[in-house]
Amino acid sequence: MPRLVFLGKLEDIAGTAELTVAPGPVEQILATLDRALAIELLGEKVRMALNGSLITDMGGVTLREGDELAFLPPVSGG
Protein backbone atom coordinates (compact mmCIF):
# COMPACT_ATOMS: atom_id res chain seq x y z
CA MET A 1 0.00 0.00 0.00
CA PRO A 2 1.16 3.58 -0.60
CA ARG A 3 2.12 5.68 2.41
CA LEU A 4 1.72 9.34 3.26
CA VAL A 5 4.48 10.73 5.51
CA PHE A 6 4.00 13.87 7.59
CA LEU A 7 7.06 15.86 8.69
CA GLY A 8 7.46 18.55 11.34
CA LYS A 9 4.29 20.08 12.71
CA LEU A 10 2.23 18.19 10.13
CA GLU A 11 2.86 15.05 12.18
CA ASP A 12 1.15 16.68 15.16
CA ILE A 13 -1.77 17.87 13.04
CA ALA A 14 -2.21 14.43 11.49
CA GLY A 15 -1.74 12.73 14.86
CA THR A 16 0.59 10.23 13.17
CA ALA A 17 3.89 10.23 11.28
CA GLU A 18 2.63 7.90 8.55
CA LEU A 19 -0.65 6.89 7.05
CA THR A 20 -1.27 3.93 4.79
CA VAL A 21 -3.73 4.74 2.02
CA ALA A 22 -5.39 3.00 -0.91
CA PRO A 23 -3.62 3.39 -4.28
CA GLY A 24 -5.02 6.08 -6.55
CA PRO A 25 -4.74 9.69 -7.66
CA VAL A 26 -3.37 11.97 -4.93
CA GLU A 27 -6.34 14.34 -5.21
CA GLN A 28 -8.72 11.46 -4.48
CA ILE A 29 -6.63 10.27 -1.55
CA LEU A 30 -6.54 13.75 0.01
CA ALA A 31 -10.31 14.00 -0.34
CA THR A 32 -10.68 11.00 1.98
CA LEU A 33 -8.62 12.64 4.75
CA ASP A 34 -9.81 14.80 7.60
CA ARG A 35 -10.62 18.16 6.03
CA ALA A 36 -8.55 20.23 8.46
CA LEU A 37 -5.52 18.02 7.77
CA ALA A 38 -6.02 18.19 3.99
CA ILE A 39 -6.09 21.99 4.14
CA GLU A 40 -2.76 22.03 6.03
CA LEU A 41 -1.20 19.55 3.58
CA LEU A 42 -2.21 21.77 0.67
CA GLY A 43 -0.70 24.89 2.29
CA GLU A 44 1.39 26.90 -0.14
CA LYS A 45 4.55 26.52 1.95
CA VAL A 46 4.27 22.74 2.15
CA ARG A 47 6.39 20.87 -0.38
CA MET A 48 5.89 17.32 -1.51
CA ALA A 49 8.33 14.53 -2.27
CA LEU A 50 7.44 11.31 -4.06
CA ASN A 51 9.81 8.49 -3.12
CA GLY A 52 12.44 10.97 -1.92
CA SER A 53 12.29 13.40 -4.88
CA LEU A 54 10.58 16.77 -4.75
CA ILE A 55 7.56 17.19 -7.00
CA THR A 56 6.24 20.60 -7.95
CA ASP A 57 2.67 19.65 -8.67
CA MET A 58 0.54 16.75 -7.52
CA GLY A 59 -1.70 17.09 -10.53
CA GLY A 60 -1.80 13.78 -12.33
CA VAL A 61 0.25 11.99 -9.66
CA THR A 62 -1.11 8.56 -8.85
CA LEU A 63 0.18 6.60 -5.88
CA ARG A 64 0.95 2.95 -6.51
CA GLU A 65 1.88 0.03 -4.32
CA GLY A 66 4.96 0.92 -2.23
CA ASP A 67 4.99 4.63 -3.12
CA GLU A 68 5.80 7.13 -0.38
CA LEU A 69 4.49 10.67 -0.59
CA ALA A 70 6.02 13.01 1.99
CA PHE A 71 4.62 16.39 3.03
CA LEU A 72 7.44 18.76 4.00
CA PRO A 73 6.65 22.01 5.84
CA PRO A 74 9.26 24.81 5.87
CA VAL A 75 12.52 23.59 7.38
CA SER A 76 14.02 24.98 10.58
CA GLY A 77 17.29 23.21 11.18
CA GLY A 78 20.86 23.82 12.23
Partner 1 sequence: MADVRLETALDPVAEIAAFNARYATSGGIVTFLGQVREGGGVEALELKHYGPMTLPGMTDLARITQLRWPLDGLLIVHRHGVMHPGDPIVLVAAAARHRRDAFAAADFAMDHLKSESWFWKREKTATGWRWIEPRPEDHEDLERWR
Among 7, 46, 55, 61, binds partner 1 (CB under 8 A): 7
The DSSP result for the chain, as a single string, is --EEEE-THHHHHHTSSEEE--SEEHHHHHHTS-HHHHHHHT-TT-EEEETTEEES--TT-EE-TT-EEEEEPPP---
Q: Find out whether 72 and 49 touch, Cβ atoms under 8 Å.
A: yes
Q: 15 vs 74, which CB is nearer to partner 1?
A: 74
Closest CB 78 distance from partner 1, rounded Å? 4
Q: 14 vs 28, which CB is nearer to partner 1?
A: 14
Map the footprint of partner 1 across residues 43-72, applying CB under 8 A: 49, 51-52, 68, 70, 72
Residues that bind partner 1 (CB under 8 A): 5, 7-9, 11-12, 49, 51-52, 68, 70, 72-78
